[in-house]
């Protein structure tokens, strides 16, 4: 057991919103003593947490049913970078917390912000909506807040702001004078440390271990970023165990995709009244059926953030404006950005797809414009965009060049539709070899995307299988090396293990083009046999086959292939093959220690200066701070 787990395990009794005492809740039935004065000595100790002894028992928490505590709260949140503030929010009011019953794993507390006030820079539309809506949270036996329950009608922004305020008041206690806990808040799961001096607690937020995302809780590293937190809270508690005052000052710095953003959270709370609200007992049970799950609130905000990111990229431009920009762009740089902006427009404004479709399909449209639109619709990737691309593939008025670009686009969408599969299947019979070949390759790409998308609205499993079956039939019918290579390339794109036997039947072909295509087709098939063949094919007499094998190895964890790579680097005469091996190894620098020793040897001893330089450059890659 690691130290933090040990500390968590040592937390005997849960505390909510104050430290140093015992969480105590009797059932909502007769055993709950409601309506009496909050005296610490009367509060029973939690059975599941174990006995509270010594200092912890000294400040037992009053969590009797109906007990109510009112705080004046002021919360300030700023988002920016460094000392530059891009957004600021101030929320104030009287936060009333009332123990209202038992909940799974702990106690239910009703929260309501009375007389709320709010200021935002920039102004936020409807910012007051939902701020005074009562909501609930559950305190688990380990002292952490386990979950929140928000009415379905409560806006996501109000949920997140109120959750942030309540979470700022969260305290998980320990038995001694200093301890660490793992707790959660609106951003994710964090490790915090506490120290106690009498009735004063000092809380420090140490690190976020996992972040709340639309895909659940994930580590910052798995998202390719870092998330740092500094600061904490000063908390005074009285004999009731509830805080009498709290001042939190926390700075969070998130760095993702090279963008660094900072949030400063300041929260002040002062206990101004205690009382009884017996009439609220049972309100949690009564309201529970109308709650949204926690993740729903996040999904709403995340979807809005993603939509706003797209809208910011579009910058208010219309389809016609962006199309004119695209046609007028003098260089690739301008065209690239406009293509990305068009894709964002298609994601946020479905009506723009219809405009693009009408131009794409019009007989007189310049081919370069139509091809750019086909690519931009692929960037959009929506169902409507895929429908437009499918129509372009079928149209008698579009050129083979436009059809080819449409096929490429459909092969690269993340969530392909059945419509796209059907259109590509039809296009495989096109009299234009450019169109039919591109559609064949795209069908393989589409099958892989469908298997990875996880979108129930995307292509079904049966249709994915149909696509692979069609490609297998194409391989079986292929006569020339070119036809065989094309079908193998498409099956390779699919990464479908059902194609393995058919592919393996060609890895010994005497025709280099076919053999290279067959070995290359193993790159996405994560199978034992495929791995064996890739390792063996690094010794193929033809460099193009060796490089196909090395590229296939590059899609996998490199460790099992270190022997093969070492031998290629030590013995192969072909400089390009050795350079490809270095390229494969370069991706695992900072991840696998042995890779660095192999590259160091190559950098020192390879007969070719270019290979030595490539190895040296690979070794100079900056140490990655993120997980791979």
Partner 1 sequence: MSFARSFAAAVLAALAFAAVEKTASAATVTGVQTAGKDYSRSISKDDFGAGFQLYARSTAKDYAQMCTYTDPEARCASVVSFVKPICKTIWQAQHAAYCAKGATVGYSAEGKAGTDVTLFGKDFDLFSISGGAYAEPESTTASYGIYVLGKKIRGASASELSVDIPIAERTLVSASATFNLGPVPITVKGEATGSLGIELAMSAGTATIGGRARPYAGVDGVFSAGVGVSGASVGIYGDLLLVEVSTPATAKITSLGNKRFAYDAALDLEIHTLDGSVGLYGEFMSYRKQWEIFSWSGLEYSYNLGRTQGSFSL
One residue of 223, 239, 317, 500 binding partner 1 per CB under 8 A: 223
Residues 390 to 409: which contact partner 1 by CB under 8 A? 404-405, 408-409
Does 617 bind partner 1 (CB under 8 A)? Our answer is yes
One residue of 228, 285, 300, 419 binding partner 1 per CB under 8 A: 300
In which element (H, E) is residue 149 found?
strand 145-151
Q: Which stretch binds partner 1 (CB under 8 A): 55-63, 416-424, 525-533, 599-607?
A: 525-533
Pairs from 203-208 (Cβ < 8 Å, separation ≥ 24): 203/19, 203/171, 203/232, 203/233, 203/234, 203/235, 203/248, 204/231, 204/232, 205/229, 205/230, 205/231, 205/232, 205/250, 206/180, 208/252
One residue of 537, 598, 602, 603 binding partner 1 per CB under 8 A: 537
One residue of 52, 113, 169, 344 binding partner 1 per CB under 8 A: 344
Helix axes 332-348, 319-328, angle to 10 degrees: 160
Residues 75 to 104: which contact partner 1 by CB under 8 A? 77, 79-82, 84-87, 89
- Residue 366 CA to residue 180 CA, distance in Å, equals 66
Residues 487-501 as b or e (16 or more Cβ within 10 Å = b): bbbbbbbbbbeebbe
CB 49 within 8 A of CB 11: yes
One residue of 122, 289, 454, 456 binding partner 1 per CB under 8 A: 122
One residue of 161, 181, 386, 390 binding partner 1 per CB under 8 A: 161
- Residue 456 CA to residue 206 CA, distance in Å, equals 39
CB 576 within 8 A of CB 611: no
Residues 12 to 51: which contact partner 1 by CB under 8 A? none
What 3-state DSSP class applies to 76? strand
Q: Is 521 left (phi over 0), alpha (psi -120 to 50) or beta?
A: alpha
Considering the complex, state which of residue 70 and residue 379 has its C-beta at the smaller distance from partner 1. 379
Residues 464 to 493: which contact partner 1 by CB under 8 A? 481-482, 485-486, 489-490, 492-493
Instruction: Please give the structure tokens belonging to residue 159.
Output: 């949920």
CB of 313 to partner 1, least distance (A): 4
Does 513 bind partner 1 (CB under 8 A)? Our answer is yes
Q: For residue 266, which of 27, 90, 32 has the smallest C-alpha distance?
A: 90
Distances, alpha carbon 428 to alpha carbons 288, 297, 470, in Å: 55, 45, 10
Does 348 bind partner 1 (CB under 8 A)? Our answer is no
CB of 426 to partner 1, least distance (A): 19
Q: What is the pattern of x (binds partner 1, CB under 8 A) and - over residues 321-340?
A: ----------xxx-xxxxxx
CA 486 to chain centre: 35
Which residues, 6 or more positions from 520, have their beta carbon under 8 angstroms from its beta carbon? 488, 489, 492, 548, 551, 552
What 3-state DSSP class applies to 252? strand
CA 564 to chain centre: 35
One residue of 418, 586, 592, 600 binding partner 1 per CB under 8 A: 586
One residue of 544, 592, 600, 601 binding partner 1 per CB under 8 A: 544
Considering the complex, state which of residue 60 and residue 458 has its C-beta at the smaller distance from partner 1. 458
Considering the complex, state which of residue 147 and residue 283 has its C-beta at the smaller distance from partner 1. 147
One residue of 112, 142, 157, 606 binding partner 1 per CB under 8 A: 157
One residue of 211, 246, 361, 459 binding partner 1 per CB under 8 A: 211
Q: Which stretch binds partner 1 (CB under 8 A): 46-54, 60-68, 233-241, 537-545?
A: 537-545
One residue of 507, 550, 595, 598 binding partner 1 per CB under 8 A: 507
Instruction: Please give the structure tokens belonging to residue 497.
Output: 């293990």
One residue of 27, 234, 532, 597 binding partner 1 per CB under 8 A: 532
Q: φ and ψ at 256, to 5 degrees?
A: -135, 140
Cis? peptide before 122, omega within 30° of 0: yes
Considering the complex, state which of residue 59 and residue 345 has its C-beta at the smaller distance from partner 1. 345
CB 172 within 8 A of CB 192: yes
CA 561 to chain centre: 30
One residue of 212, 357, 403, 421 binding partner 1 per CB under 8 A: 212
One residue of 142, 437, 496, 596 binding partner 1 per CB under 8 A: 437
Does 378 bind partner 1 (CB under 8 A)? Our answer is yes
Instruction: Please give the structure tokens belonging to residue 378.
Output: 């692929």
Q: For residue 507, count CB atoms less than 10 angstroms from its CB and return exposed for 0-12, middle for 13-18, buried for 19 or more.
A: buried
Does 164 bind partner 1 (CB under 8 A)? Our answer is yes
Considering the complex, state which of residue 29 and residue 573 has its C-beta at the smaller distance from partner 1. 573
- The count of chain residues that interact with partner 1, using the rule CB under 8 A, is 170
One residue of 371, 383, 421, 474 binding partner 1 per CB under 8 A: 371
CB of 493 to partner 1, least distance (A): 5
CB of 289 to partner 1, least distance (A): 26
Q: Which stretch binds partner 1 (CB under 8 A): 53-61, 142-150, 159-167, 458-466?
A: 159-167
One residue of 109, 420, 499, 504 binding partner 1 per CB under 8 A: 504
Considering the complex, state which of residue 68 and residue 406 has its C-beta at the smaller distance from partner 1. 406
Considering the complex, state which of residue 12 and residue 91 has its C-beta at the smaller distance from partner 1. 91
- Residue 118 CA to residue 76 CA, distance in Å, equals 10
């Amino acid at each position: 057991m690691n130290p933090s787990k040990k500390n968590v395990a040592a937390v005997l009794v849960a505390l909510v919103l104050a430290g140093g005492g015992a969480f105590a809740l009797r059932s909502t039935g007769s055993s709950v003593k409601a309506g009496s004065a909050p005296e610490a000595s009367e509060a029973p100790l939690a059975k599941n947490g174990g006995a509270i002894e010594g200092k912890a028992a000294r400040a037992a928490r009053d969590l009797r049913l109906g007990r109510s505590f009112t705080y004046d709260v002021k919360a300030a949140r700023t988002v920016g970078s460094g000392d530059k503030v891009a957004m600021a929010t101030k929320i104030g009011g009287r936060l009333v917390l009332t123990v209202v019953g038992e909940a799974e794993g702990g106690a239910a507390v009703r929260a309501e912000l009375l007389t709320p006030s709010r200021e935002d820079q920039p102004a936020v539309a409807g910012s007051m909506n939902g701020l005074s809506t009562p909501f609930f949270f559950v305190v688990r036996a380990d002292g952490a807040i386990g979950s929140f329950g928000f009415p379905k009608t409560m806006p996501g922004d109000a949920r997140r702001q109120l959750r942030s305020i309540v979470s700022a008041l969260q305290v998980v206690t320990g038995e001694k004078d200093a301890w660490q806990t793992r707790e959660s808040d609106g951003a994710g799961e964090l490790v915090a440390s506490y120290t106690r001096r009498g009735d004063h607690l000092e809380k420090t937020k140490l690190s976020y271990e996992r972040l709340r995302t639309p895909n659940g809780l994930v580590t910052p590293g798995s998202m390719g970023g870092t998330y740092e937190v500094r600061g904490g809270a000063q908390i005074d508690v009285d004999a009731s165990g509830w805080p009498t005052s709290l001042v939190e000052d926390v700075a969070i710095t998130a760095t993702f995709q090279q963008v660094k953003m900072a949030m400063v959270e300041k929260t002040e709370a002062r206990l101004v009244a205690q009382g009884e609200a017996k009439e609220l007992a049972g309100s949690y049970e009564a309201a529970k059926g109308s709650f949204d799950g926690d993740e729903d609130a996040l999904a709403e905000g995340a979807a809005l953030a993603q939509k706003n990111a797209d809208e910011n990229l579009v910058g208010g431009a219309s389809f016609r404006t962006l199309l004119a920009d695209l046609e007028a762009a003098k260089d690739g740089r301008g065209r690239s950005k406009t293509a990305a902006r068009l894709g964002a427009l298609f994601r946020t404004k479905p009506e723009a797809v219809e405009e693009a479709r009408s131009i794409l399909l019009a007989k007189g449209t310049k081919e370069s414009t139509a091809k750019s639109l086909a690519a931009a619709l692929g960037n959009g990737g929506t169902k409507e965009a895929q429908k437009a691309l499918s129509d372009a593939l079928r149209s008698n008025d579009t050129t083979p060049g436009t059809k080819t670009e449409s096929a490429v686009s459909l092969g690269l969408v993340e969530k392909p539709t059945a419509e796209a599969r059907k259109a590509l299947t039809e296009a495989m019979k096109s009299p234009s070899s450019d169109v039919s070949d591109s559609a064949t390759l795209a069908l393989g790409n589409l099958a892989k995307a469908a298997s990875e998308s996880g979108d129930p609205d995307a292509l079904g499993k049966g249709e994915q299988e149909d696509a692979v079956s069609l490609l297998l039939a194409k391989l079986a019918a292929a006569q020339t090396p070119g036809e065989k290579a094309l079908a193998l390339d498409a099956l390779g794109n699919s990464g479908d293990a059902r194609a393995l036997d058919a592919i393996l039947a060609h890895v010994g072909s005497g025709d280099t083009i076919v053999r290279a295509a067959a070995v290359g087709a193993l790159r996405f098939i994560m199978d034992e046999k495929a791995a064996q063949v890739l390792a063996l094919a690094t010794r193929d007499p033809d460099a193009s086959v060796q490089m196909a094998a090395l590229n296939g190895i590059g899609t996998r964890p490199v460790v099992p292939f270190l022997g093969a790579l070492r031998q290629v680097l030590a013995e192969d005469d072909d400089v390009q093959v050795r350079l490809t091996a270095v390229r494969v190894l370069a991706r695992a620098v900072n991840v696998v220690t042995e890779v660095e020793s192999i590259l160091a040897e190559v950098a020192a001893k390879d007969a070719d200066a270019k290979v030595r330089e490539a190895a040296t450059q690979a070794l100079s890659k900056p140490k990655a701070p993120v997980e791979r």
